[in-house]
Amino acid sequence: MHITQLNRECLLHLFSFLDKNSRKSLARTCRKLLEVFQDPLLWSLLNFHSPVELKKDNFLLGPALRSLSICWHSERVKVCNVEDWMKNSFQRDFCNRHENTVSDFLLEVCNRCPNLLSLTLSGCGHVTDDCIVLLLQNCPNLKTLKLENCVRITDQTLEAVTLHGGSLQTLHVDFCRNITQTGLERVREQCPRVMLRAERSANMIPDSKPEKKVMLGKASRKLLQL
């Protein structure tokens, strides 16, 4: 029996065992397999291991997506996690090449994947609060949100969880140095049902130049004296 003689359900099952590149290659062989590749039911789960993969055309985004994971564990992630004020010109140039890649992708998810249930982001150092807030607003069924080493995430995301995370059951904000203990306590108080984990987050050094805090403190004292 030729593979194209199998019914749609069997073909979908076979495709589910293949990675994204293999699915795309197989889809190029004939129209029937292309139709299977384009079936939204095949794309309920998506895993990516670098920003580059987000720009490929070997997957589909649609309302069938339930679980999304973008986990970048390369040594190059360390460059993205350096405080902006400490980056040299080489590091800034490196970050500029992919700074908006994950954020732009998440905006597409907001528009196309309203039934998303689980989102995991690891090593996505350029993702901002605005993206996560918008995603919480557009994906009301989200149950699991795991953020690790997302250094631009702040208490604004935690506040959005209390406002828009009505379905959220699990929240991880590990190694997110710009959230505070105050923000975590607010989530615990207002969302007691949420399983909250914040490993090495609230006690880490915030992503702002130390001199700025000193200058602000001096300026405030001068204003009080006046």
Total-model pTM: 0.83
The mean-pLDDT minimum among 120-129, 150-159, 203-212 falls in: 203-212
At residue 202, the pLDDT reads 81
Residues 54, 61: contact at Cβ < 8 Å?
no
At residue 52, the pLDDT reads 87
- Please list the residue range(s) of the chain that carry CATH number 1.20.1280: 1-42
- State the fold for domain 43-197: 3.80.10
The model's pLDDT over 112-148, given as tens digits with 9 standing for 90+, comes to 999 999 999 999 888 999 999 999 999 999 999 999 9
At residue 201, the pLDDT reads 86
- State the fold for domain 1-42: Monooxygenase (1.20.1280)
Q: Cβ contacts of residue 59 below 8 Å, gap of 6+?
A: 20, 43, 46
At residue 221, the pLDDT reads 54
Choice between 215 and 25, residue whose per-residue pLDDT is larger: 25
Percent of the chain's residues with pLDDT above 90: 67
Q: pLDDT tier at 219 (50, 70, 90 boundaries)?
A: low
Q: pLDDT tier at 224 (50, 70, 90 boundaries)?
A: very low
